[in-house]
Amino acid sequence: MNKSVTLSYAQSLIWVGLLVAIAVGVTAIVELVFVDFVHGNPHRTLGNVIVMMVVETPLIGVIALIGVFLVFTLPQFFQVAVISVLNQMFGSRARFAVFLALPLTAVLTWYCYDYLTPTDFNLGINVGPDWAPYQHGLSISRYMRTLAIQAPVTLFSFLYFDAGFRGGSKKPLLMAALALAVVVGGILGHENAQQQFQFL
């Protein structure tokens, strides 16, 4: 069972990365459509917008995919370890232990985000009088945000593994997750566009 758990959680991590990349890509495209085509942006030509959609959107997706791997790889394999250890005592019911381990998984996710991603990265365009360098550390608000992000990843990975464990099709789960990624990307893109309108 250990090999099947590892393989399933590795596959689900790849799917999570692809789904996040799709959501980020949809966000970028929807934002460009609303800002440049619907509202009308005098600072960019339509040709420039199309180039941004074709070239920059996949690049942003690749960066998001790398970010997912940096942040969620260790938490995924922590969950594999939890299932593998408890499998010896509880058998197949050990797969449910990932939900009990979620609070610890979220701490590991926060650590990976805080120390494995460039949180101090600054292009110099957002430096203002109120700007301060990123302070590493876990606070209640950061933990709750991390828990809110880790929970759906854990649920998706569990459902992906459970579908294989029961011998069912993973297609409905993947289609639902894809639809959700597109909807979330569309909503975020529209919100980003609304924020950009004030600068046009």
In a domain, 124, yes or no: no
- pLDDT per residue as tens, the chain (200 positions): 688 999 999 999 999 999 999 999 999 999 988 888 877 777 777 788 888 889 989 999 999 999 999 999 999 999 999 999 999 899 889 999 999 999 999 999 999 999 888 866 555 555 556 666 677 788 899 999 999 999 999 999 999 999 988 888 999 999 999 999 999 999 999 999 888 777 66
In a domain, 130, yes or no: no
In a domain, 128, yes or no: no
In a domain, 125, yes or no: no
Q: 80 lies in which domain range?
A: 2-117+136-197
Number of domains in the chain: 1
Q: State CA 141 to chain mean position distance.
A: 18
pTM of the predicted model over 0.75: yes
